[in-house]
Amino acid sequence: MQKLTPSDLFTLEAYARERPAFRARVLAHKQARSVHLGAHLTLLFEDRLTVQYQVQEMLRIERIFEEAGIRDELDAYNPLIPDGANLKATLLIEYPDPAVRTRKLVELRDIEHRMTLRIGDLAPVIAIADEDMQRSNAEKTSAVHFLRFELSRAHVAAFKHRGEVEFVVEHAAYQGKTTLATATRTALAADLD
């Protein structure tokens, strides 16, 4: 999947006009790219469109219009676009109550390293977490992590054409497993070209 360039982006003025329709399109697109692991973990699988939305929103919020600032945002977000042999996701740990969330982030320390992709009877693919920066420390984890699942050719073929696909989290304080629905599998298979 191609990385974004400045020519792929709306100007601030154009984005102000296009934002409602673009946002609706992206939110609909994200539905098939979201995988819930139990009630409190969501994997949002990124692609070129979801990353473009993130960049456009950052440019809008920060009022960035100069070339260097745009390049900085692209440099920060382009690594989230899949490379054709991997899936990239934002892991969201979601507890609405701030006090509960604070307690759970302590209990769930290192959960980002306990995420696995299983495809049929092939070896599990363990997520690689937070290559951009360390988000956990000795006391707690972060509510947001960036994960990468590197797939072999056999994994890619099986993901696209055969075998059950599931995401699993196995942590002392939280377990979950989700078998991908057809729409999600189809959406994510497009990242593997």
d(Cα 161, Cα 155) in Å, to the nearest integer? Answer: 10
Domains of the chain (ranges, CATH numbers): 1-31+48-81 (no CATH), 35-45+83-193 (2.60.40)
What is the pairing mode between strands 34-37 and 174-179? unpaired
Helix and strand numbers (H, E) in the chain are 6, 9
What is the pLDDT at residue 134? 62
What is the pLDDT at residue 131? 63
- Span 106-122, pLDDT tens digits: 999 999 999 999 999 99
What is the pLDDT at residue 132? 62
Structure tokens of 90?
Answer: 């934002």
Alpha helices in 1-97 (DSSP H): 12-31, 48-62, 67-77
First to last CA, the chain: 7
- Span 127-161, pLDDT tens digits: 999 766 566 667 889 999 999 999 999 999 999 98
Q: What is the mean pLDDT of each run of 10 residues along the chain (193 residues)?
A: 93 96 97 96 97 96 93 93 95 96 95 95 93 68 94 94 91 96 94 89
Residue burial 118-150, b: 16+ Cβ < 10 Å; e: rest: bbeebeebebbbbeeeebbeeebbbbebbbbbe
What is the pLDDT at residue 3? 94
Question: CB within 8 A of 5, min separation 6: which ones?
Answer: 74
Q: Contact at 8 Å (CB) between 87 and 118?
A: no
What is the pLDDT at residue 81? 95
What is the pLDDT at residue 163? 76
What is the pLDDT at residue 137? 66
Structure tokens of 2?
Answer: 């191609």
